[in-house]
Amino acid sequence: MDLAERLRQLGYGGAAAPAGPPRPRHGPGVEQIVPGEFRETPHGRCFVAKTVYPLDHAHGGIHLASVFGLPSTALVTLGRSSALEALDFRRVAFLDTETTGLAGGTGTYVFLVGLGFFQGDEFLVEQYFMRDYGEERAMLAALGRTIARFPAIVSFNGKVFDWPLLQTRFALARQQLQPAEPLHLDLLFPARRLWRERLGSCALSALEEGVLDVRRQVDVPSWLIPSIYFEYVREGDARPLRPVFAHNEHDILSLLALTVRLGRHIADPLHEAAHPVDLFATGRIFEGALAWEECILCYEKALAGDLPLRLREEALCRLGLVYKRLQRGSHAERTWRALVERPDCLGTLPFVELAKHLEHRERDFAAAAVIVERALGLLARRRADPWDAGRGERERRELEHRLARLRQKVAKKASAGG
């Protein structure tokens, strides 16, 4: 055996290894520890585990069939793509992979690919497994036949990791991965925008506990999975793989439940949001989507709750800027005044915006000058940011320039009145 072949067997190879006779096993095979079947391909056999769920099966309190009730507008907002308006969950594959490492690139193999999809009145989870490196072409061929039926996929960080890695493995195996560029809803990004402010971590396991109220009773940590697979390849005992298959299958179900939870939240945030912080984050999502009325509703409802000081100030500032954009001057003024009257106001933005309103809409130059003087006082009392020493100086110069102009207008107005 040459060095390249030995490296491939240890999981460090690049191109797909050629198929060969299976090595001796020292324990039960994978077909003995999980239900499934072998599928024939032009490159040999591939083992595919298979689990079937009825549509009324609940995961995290969410029935699988609930995904069909999601409004398309919510999906467009979540994925920031108008193409998602045509998403048909009967033609979607929920995708999750298990790999020999997290670095990606040609040295990383995908040894288990989970696909969840609807078929008739059932939800199927199929898991395509590579028993040895020499079976990679067979696994990819079997996987490719199935995934080609689905023009769209849902994943969690799949745009960055799973799908590019599959593209690499298919290319190295000289096979075609179709569709090459599927319609792709990656849940990691909307989940971060919605829940990172409250939860901190937006790993799928953290979202299961914090959003879906799902707690895995027995699970294998993701970081341990590659070493379990390496040990299986060396020894041939598939028993330690049982929790790996269960972990992957659980991820697929969580993907579907998370899709429903995200969609419902965007469709009806005032009812679905679990915390004012989530409403604030939803307001930012709608703001990014230029959905101004929904944005205002979320910010106002969040401000009526127990928001932390930092987020309360940001929500008021964002709300004021939205009102300004919509030319609702009285609403904007009321928001800026609520901020500048707060003894704990941390930034000069509301002072500047209120001064602009007084100067340009009310033509009250003297009142605007007073507000700018208060902003300068706030700036003088505020601790300098050591990471951006020039910021405070720039703010001070801009405020002094504005104040000088306002004083000139006050003097000119007084002169004209005299």
- Residue 95's H or E segment, with its range, is strand 92-99
Q: Provide the 3-class DSSP secondary structure of residue 366.
A: helix
In this prediction, residue 49 has a pLDDT band, given cuts at 50, 70 and 90, of very high
Q: What is the rounded CA–CA span in Å between residue 301 and residue 192?
A: 21
Same domain, 180 and 303: no
| Among candidate residues 341, 366, 394, the one where a domain is terminated | 341
Same domain, 170 and 316: no
Q: What is the rounded CA–CA span in Å between residue 154 and residue 158?
A: 8
Write out pLDDT tens, residues 252-297.
999 999 999 999 999 999 999 989 999 999 999 999 999 999 999 9
Is pLDDT of 227 > 50?
A: yes
Nearest in space to 143 (alpha carbons), one of 159, 157, 127: 127
| Among candidate residues 282, 317, 341, the one where a domain is terminated | 341
> Is the model more confident about 212 or about 106?
212
Same domain, 112 and 261: yes
Give the number of domains in the chain: 3
pLDDT of 344 reads 76
**Size of the chain, expressed as the number of residues it contains:** 418
Same domain, 8 and 132: yes
**φ and ψ at 89, to 5 degrees?**
-70, -10
Write out pLDDT tens, residues 301-356.
999 999 998 899 999 999 999 999 999 999 999 999 999 988 877 789 999 999 99
pLDDT of 18 reads 53
Question: How high does pLDDT run on average in the chain?
Answer: 90
Which range of residues forms the domain containing residue 274?
270-341
- Return all residues near 211 (Cβ < 8 A) that are at least 6 apart: 191, 195, 199, 258, 261, 274
Give the CB-side neighbour count of residue 151, counting CA atoms within 13 A: 7
Is pLDDT of 3 > 70?
A: no
Q: What is the CATH number of the domain that holds 64?
A: 3.30.420.10
Under 8 Å between Cβ of 198 and 206: no
Same domain, 258 and 300: no
- Averaged pLDDT for residues 160-180: 95
Is pLDDT of 26 > 80?
A: no
Same domain, 24 and 66: yes
Under 8 Å between Cβ of 126 and 163: no
| Among candidate residues 319, 341, 363, the one where a domain is terminated | 341
Write out pLDDT tens, residues 88-130.
999 999 999 999 987 666 689 999 999 999 999 999 999 999 9
Same domain, 290 and 380: no
pLDDT of 380 reads 83
Same domain, 43 and 21: yes
Is pLDDT of 12 > 80?
A: no
Q: What is the rounded CA–CA span in Å between residue 55 and residue 60?
A: 14
Same domain, 307 and 351: no
Write out pLDDT tens, residues 367-399.
999 999 999 988 888 766 665 567 778 889 999
Same domain, 196 and 140: yes
Same domain, 125 and 211: yes
pLDDT of 105 reads 64
**φ and ψ at 219, to 5 degrees?**
-150, 155
pLDDT of 293 reads 96
DSSP tag of 212:
I
Q: What percent of the chain has pLDDT over 90?
A: 79
Q: Provide the 3-class DSSP secondary structure of residue 26.
A: coil
Under 8 Å between Cβ of 40 and 188: no
Same domain, 155 and 302: no
Is pLDDT of 2 > 50?
A: no
pLDDT of 77 reads 95
pLDDT of 7 reads 42
